[in-house]
């Protein structure tokens, strides 16, 4: 790979560092970023990680069969597909596909979505989550229903 090709790849890899953070975003954004996969492909402005692809920054992890990062002047986007898991210290989101856009700080997860927080569990067909505000919306699938199991906080245990 030529020197300029290496730097272009590095720039695109940095687009992948737009991994959303939940909680203390300032601390997490200073943490180093690690990514790994069985194969890496760079075409145009897209870097694609395939085969047990994973991005890790601080305590946040995005894992999927494939993760692609797109870098554009005003916006960057990460798309993950196949057995997608987004794990933070407090939550785990599982789905078939996820798209995260840096411009609006939104992550959209679709396909048999499971959101867990501690013992609490919600399921649906799609989840839209604003990383900055914490606002979330989960929608039902074919049945149109969302299901959840919530445990009240236990005191004195």
Digit-coded pLDDT (tens) for 96-143: 999 988 788 888 999 999 999 889 999 999 999 887 787 889 999 777
Kindly state whether residue 103 falls inside one of the protein's structural domains: yes
- The whole-number average pLDDT for the span 52-76 is 84
Band (pLDDT 50/70/90 cuts) for residue 73 is low
Band (pLDDT 50/70/90 cuts) for residue 50 is very high
Kindly state whether residue 154 falls inside one of the protein's structural domains: no
Q: Provide the domain limits for residue 59.
A: 3-148
Digit-coded pLDDT (tens) for 77-95: 889 999 999 888 888 999 9
CA distances from 13 to 6, 55, 68, 80, 145 (A): 10, 10, 10, 15, 38
pLDDT in the model for residue 74 = 65
pLDDT in the model for residue 154 = 65
pLDDT in the model for residue 54 = 92
Residue 71's H or E segment, with its range, is: strand 60-71
Which domain CATH number covers 65? 2.60.450.10
Kindly state whether residue 134 falls inside one of the protein's structural domains: yes
- Total-model pTM: 0.77
Kindly state whether residue 157 falls inside one of the protein's structural domains: no
Digit-coded pLDDT (tens) for 17-47: 555 554 444 444 577 778 899 998 888 778 8
Kindly state whether residue 54 falls inside one of the protein's structural domains: yes
pLDDT in the model for residue 156 = 56
The total number of structural domains in the chain stands at 1
Residues 6+ apart with CB under 8 A from 134: 22
């Amino acid at each position: 790979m030529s020197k300029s090709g290496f730097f272009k790849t590095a720039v695109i890899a940095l687009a992948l560092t737009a991994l959303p953070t939940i909680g203390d975003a300032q601390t997490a954004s200073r943490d180093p970023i690690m990514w790994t996969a069985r194969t890496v492909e760079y075409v145009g402005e897209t870097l694609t990680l395939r085969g047990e692809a994973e991005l890790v920054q601080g305590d946040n992890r995005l894992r999927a069969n494939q993760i692609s990062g797109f870098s554009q002047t005003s916006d960057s986007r990460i798309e993950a597909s196949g057995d997608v898991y987004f794990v933070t210290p407090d939550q785990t989101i599982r789905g078939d596909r996820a798209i995260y856009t840096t411009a609006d700080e939104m992550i959209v997860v679709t396909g048999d979505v499971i959101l867990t927080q501690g013992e609490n569990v919600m399921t649906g067909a799609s989840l839209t989550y604003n990383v900055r505000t914490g606002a979330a919306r989960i929608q039902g699938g074919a049945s149109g229903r969302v299901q959840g199991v919530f445990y009240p906080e236990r005191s004195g245990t």
